[in-house]
Amino acid sequence: MNSAIRNGLGWSTLALMLTSLFMVFEWVPTEAEQGIVQRIFYFHVPLAWVAFAAFGIVAIAGVFYLWLKDQIWDDLGYAAAESGMVFCTLVLITGSIWAKPIWGIWWTWDSRLTTTFILWLLYGGYLMLRAMADDTPEVARFGAVIGIVAALDVPVVILSVRLWRTIHPAVIVTRAGEHGLEDPRMVVTLLVSLTAFTALFAWILMLRFSQLRVRSRLNGMRREAALIEAAARDY
Amino acid sequence: MEHFGYLFGAYSIIFAVIFIYVLFIWRRQAELERELRAMEERIKTLKLESTSSAAKPMEK
C-alpha cells in the first residue's frame, strides 16, 4: 500500500517536473528588466517554500516527540530536517547565482539572505548532532528542542523583507501590495512549479521517513539480540 | 540570450543535487534491507541456541 502511494507520487512528481520545466523554458514570457535570469525564480521560490514546510514539520514532529515520546515522531523530524536542509542549500545557491548578473555580486548580507543563512546554520547544527551522536532518547530530545527553536527563524525569514530594509525582490506580493509577477502566465508557471516541488518534497520525505523507520526497527532488533546474548551468558 | 549560463547553471545544480540525494537514499535503503535480513537471521539463531541450551539441563 505504502510503496504503491510512493511510486504513484514519484511518477506524478516526474510528470509535474517535466511540465514545469517546459513552462519555464518554453511557455512563460521573459521578464522585461531582468531577462531570462529571472526564470531562476520559478524554482528558487518553490525550493524556499518546501524548505520552510520541511522545517515546520521538524518543529511539529519535535513537539509531538517531546509530548508522546514515540520514536515515529523523531524519525519524521529527522527525515524532514535532512530533506529541508537539501532544499535550503539549493535556495542559497540558486539565489546567489541569480544575484551575480542582477546585483553584480554573489552574496550580500541583506536581511533575507542573512536570516536564510542563519536558518541553514541552525538545521546544519541539528543534523550534525544527529549524525555524530548515538540514537538515544536523550539525543532525540535535544534534537526535538533544537528543531523547534530553529523553526522560529522561518517566520523571521518570511517577514524579513517587510521588517527591515532589503534589496531582495518580493516575488509574490510587493511591499505596496502589488504582484511581483505582471503576466498571468508567470503566476501559472510559479503555481505549477510550487505543486511540482511540493510533490517532490512529499516523495523524498516518504522515502527517507520509511528508511528511518527501518533503521529504528533495526536498532530495536540489535537491542533484542544483545539481551538474548546476555541472558545466554548469565544462564 | 544574455546570462543563459547562469540560468543553465542554476537548473543543473538543482537537478544534480536532488539526483545525488535520491541516489544516497536508495543506496542506504539497500544497505539497511541487507542489515535487517542479517539481523533477523542472527536473532533466529540466537533464539534457537538459547532454547537448546535451556533444554539440555532438563534432559539430564
Chain A residues lying within 8 Å of B6, measured CB to CB: 37, 40, 97-98, 100-101
**pLDDT band at A202; cut points 50, 70, 90:** very high
Q: Is residue A30 part of a domain?
A: no
High-pLDDT (> 70) share of chain A, %: 94
Whole-number pLDDT of residue A31 = 81
Q: Does residue A41 fall inside a structural domain?
A: yes
Q: Mean pLDDT throughout B31-54?
A: 85
Q: Which domain holds residue A13?
A: 3-25+37-232
Count of pairs with CB atoms under 8 A, one residue in A, one in B: 92
DSSP string, A191-221: HHHHHHHHHHHHHHHHHHHHHHHHHHHHHHH
Domain that holds residue B25: 19-48
Question: Does residue A31 lie in a domain region?
Answer: no
On whether residue B13 sits in a domain, the answer given is: no
- Tell me if A186 is assigned to some domain: yes
Identify from B3, B8, B22, B58 which residue to disrupt to test chain A contact, counting A C-beta atoms within 10 A and taking the largest count.
Answer: B3
pLDDT-derived band of residue A1, with 50, 70 and 90 as boundaries?
A: low
B9 in a domain, yes or no?
no
Q: Can you name the residues that pair with A31 across neighbouring β-strands?
A: A35
Interface test with chain A among B8, B12, B14, by most A beta carbons within 10 Å: B14
Residue B59 included in any domain:
no
Query: Total structural domains in chain A?
Result: 1
Query: Considering the entire predicted model, what is its pTM?
Result: 0.88
Check residue B60 and give its pLDDT: 47
Q: Do A36 and B2 touch (CB under 8 A)?
A: yes
What is the ipTM score, two decimals? 0.86
Q: What's the confidence (pLDDT) of residue A3? A: 81
Number of folded domains that form chain B: 1
Averaged pLDDT of chain A: 89
pLDDT of residue A180: 65
Q: What percent of chain A has pLDDT over 90?
A: 60
Tell me the average pLDDT across A40-59: 95
Q: Determine whether the interchain pair B36/A94 forms a contact, defined as Cβ–Cβ distance below 8 Å.
A: no
Grid coordinates in use for B34?
541487507
Do B10 and A93 make contact, defined as CB atoms within 8 angstroms? Answer: yes
Residue B4 lies in a domain: no
Contacts B54 to A, Cβ<8 Å: 235
The answer to whether A74 touches A209, Cβ cutoff 8 Å, is no
Note whether residue B24 is domain-resident: yes
DSSP state for residue A173 in the 8-state scheme: B
- Tell me whether residue B29 is in a domain: yes
**Cα A61 to Cα A89: distance, rounded to the nearest angstrom:** 22
Q: Which of B1, B4, B21 to mutate to test the interface with A (most CBs of A within 10 A)?
A: B21
Domain membership flag for residue B56: no
Q: What are the tens digits of pLDDT across the range A119-148?
A: 999 999 999 999 888 888 899 999 999 999
Could you report how far apart the first and last alpha carbons of chain B are, in Å?
Answer: 90
Residue A59 lies inside a defined structural domain of this protein: yes
